[in-house]
Structure 1
Amino acid sequence: MYSLSQIRTGLKIGRSNPAFFGRELNRLYYSGLGQQNYNHDGVDVVAEDWDNLLILDACRYDMFEAQSTLPGRLEKRVSRGSHTVEFLRGNFTNRDLQETVYISASPQLYAQREELDATFYDVINVWIEDGWDKSIGTVLPETMTKRALEVSEQYPNKRLIVHYLQPHYPFIGAPELNARSPFEDAQSKADIWGELMERKRSLSPETVWAAYRDNLSIALPAVEELMRELPGRTVVTSDHGNMIGERAAPIPIREWGHPPGIYTEELVSVPWLVYDNGDRKEIITGESVAKADEVSSDVVTERLENLGYV
């Protein structure tokens, strides 16, 4: 649940900015006055029928529908979160998933590991490895595809979750829009959505939308390559969507980004693309071989800030 202290803090911060105050009121509305910590109307992805689950971080349904040329049958689903942490919390908390390997470009699974207390057969943190592109501050989609294919060969009888970062910020093709240059002081923040909410940046929704769409365009070829190589049933989906200056509800503020606890259409409607490639996998469970990666808290914080989390 969102604690009363968290709600009070949010409202206190919001007093100095009408947009943030409206956001906190909307959060109270969607979370049942703080009584639920994820969207209970969303789909339980673990219980769905797939061999491989490819997650496009922050990919809203309408953008995917208009832009994707990936093969398969497209449906719309409702996510359990409007933020990656909520998605993870709503789908994986306290679950024994020793038939599943999670390959992640996002540091959020690692950052939330103690709260989630989920047991995967293995977890591959690509963002810790040399897959992190320091010049942009993300993991590129082709890096994820290459690593996922290697893991597929290593674990042919496991369900695979492959968590790409795109189309999530930062904008690969429009670095001038990113809130923080990789060459600036590491202490500077990268919260592009907060800057837009506070009107510290003057960017039109059309400009931001174009950069957001471009991130998806950059990711789709790598995703298609992986889909065509992986055996069995592959589902392409997203953990949540993103708002690009649309009016939220019930308080009609202009919303940016993907704040937790706000379940608008733009934030929780996600693609669910089903693609069958040959025979289904024979999924075998087994005792977890996942190792406890030890990463400096400074590295985790820096990675999260590069992605716009503060």
Structure 2
Amino acid sequence: MGASELLVNTVRYAREHGVRETLRRGTSFAREASFRWWYSVSGQAAGGEHVFERNWDLLIVLDACRADALSEVADEYPFLDTPGTFESVGSYSLSWMENNFREKYSGEMSRTTLVTGNPFSETALDGAEFERLEEVWKHTWDEAVGTIPPRPITDRTVSLFREHDPDRAIVHYMQPHEPFTTHPELQEGSSAAEWGDAVDKSVWKRVEEGEIEEERAREAYMDELRMILDEVALLLDNVDAEKVVITADHGEAMGEYGIYGHPRGIAIDELRVVPWYETTARDSGTHEPAVNSKQLEGDQTERLRDLGYLE
């Protein structure tokens, strides 16, 4: 973010929230702007490794999963027994998609099935470039919580593996990204309509503004991580894949350098160094996917507001 963009955003924020609130947020605005400027001029915002440069059959992406957080709970899950890390090509989901799914990798993409719960897919991805693109968020979004629960992602993936046996597949879960389904009390404005006016009440913004204790938010994040890992365990027990990787699109800042969440263009390790755990999957047939009869088309803008990306 350059000086002109910072000024435009500050004026817009002041109009919507008032001068007093804008002055109170001034330090946060300036901090993020200075980080973006530094990474821009230094070139450190670029770089990272593209996922298609690695060997895998099934890539499981946990949105906003920190490497140290996964390491902390690894001994609770037998499939997390090969620890490793990976430098992501983005510090938030849109840049991760734009930088990974490029013309250079069109051959790999054409034989890859992508099942995603992330609404940025509508902006960043072209279904014609993949063997299949399943944007599950469009018809299984939970308006009450403001995100897509993991089970529809699991169910669609299991069905696709049993029906089509894809050569390669990417499964993009939204958790442990907020809002935390395990702690809905921490999130204000959880419906799409409310989030349009209350994006600044995301969990990490509330921590930044002193409304929630940082430790409470961290504990909620870890609970959400355990919840999604339980879901991953179910998936691994109901698909066949020789080489499975569990990773993340980006991490999550929790106060490092005064940064919270995952702002675009900031390349600190907490955002760019993500987990990379290898395992296998065998279909035991223990789970039968639910048939979703409620095919509701979702609005991308409302979904991104739910996740705290848009005002």
Give 1:281's aligned residue: none
1-side partners of 2:193 and 2:137: how far apart?
A: 20
Among 190, 211, 223, the alignment partner of 1:214 is 223
CA displacement at 1:187 relative to structure 2: 3.6
Partner Cα distance (1:244, 1:53) in 2: 26
1:112 CA displacement: 2.2
1:142 shift after superposition: 2.1
How many aligned residue pairs are there?
Answer: 277
Q: Which residue of 2 aligns with 1:74?
A: 83
2:132 corresponds in structure 1 to: 122
Q: Which has the higher strand share?
A: 1
Whether 1:65 and 2:71 are equivalent positions in the alignment is yes
| Letter aligned with residue 270 of structure 1 | V
Report deviation, 1:193: 5.8
1:100 matched residue in structure 2: 112
CA shift for structure 1 position 181: 3.2
SS of 1:210's equivalent in the other structure is: helix
1:301 counterpart letter in structure 2: T
- Equivalent residue runs for 1:33-72 within 5 Å: 39-40=46-47, 42-68=48-74, 69-71=77-79, 72=81
Aligned to 2:266: 262
Indicate whether 1:113 and 2:109 are aligned: no
Which string of whole-angstrom CA distances, capped at 9 and with x for unpartnered residues, describes residues 13-71 of structure 1?
469512211111111111236x68x531x121012100000000000000000013241
The alignment's TM-score, normalised by the length of structure 1, stands at 0.81
Residue number in structure 2 paired with 1:307 = 307
Cα-to-partner distance string for 1:249-306 (whole Å, 9 max, x where unaligned): xxxxx1110001111121111110101347xxxxxxxxxxxxxxx967xx11111111
- How far did 1:186 drift? 5.9
How far is the alpha carbon of 1:215 from its aligned partner? Answer: 0.9
For structure 2, list consecutive stretches of 5 or more residues without a partner in the other structure: 11-21, 283-295
Unaligned runs of 5+ in 1: 248-253, 279-293
Identical aligned pairs, as a percentage?
30
Maintained 8 Å contact 2:187/2:203: no
User: Deviations along 1:162-203, whole A, 9 cap, x unmatched?
Assistant: 00000001011211211313286464233416734862x522
Change (3 A) 1:139 1:183: closer
Report the secondary structure of 2:65's partner residue.
coil
Q: Which amino acid aligns with 1:276?
A: T
Higher helix proportion: 2
Q: Which amino acid aligns with 2:123?
A: A
2-side partners of 1:32 and 1:257: how far apart?
Answer: 22
Relative to structure 1, is the Cα distance of residues 26 and 277 closer, same or farther in structure 2, using a 3 angstrom cutoff?
Answer: same
Q: Distance in 1 between matches of 2:281 and 2:153?
A: 20
Structure 1 residues 43, 197: closer, same or farther in 2, change over 3 A? Answer: same
List aligned pairs for 1:1-310, cutoff 5 A: 8-10=4-6, 13=9, 16=23, 17-32=26-41, 39-40=46-47, 42-68=48-74, 69-71=77-79, 72-94=81-103, 95-96=105-106, 97-113=109-125, 119-129=129-139, 131-182=140-191, 185=194, 187-191=196-200, 192=202, 195-196=205-206, 199=209, 201-231=210-240, 232-247=242-257, 254-277=258-281, 299-310=299-310
What residue identity is the alignment partner of 1:103?
V
Contact 2:89/2:99, CA 8 A, preserved across alignment: yes
How far apart are residue 124 of structure 1 and its match? 0.2
Opposite residue 112 of structure 1, the aligned amino acid is: A
- Cα 1:50–1:99 change in 2 (3 A) is same
CA deviations over 1:108-150 (Å, ceiling 9, x no partner): 1112237xx9811110010112x22222111112221111101
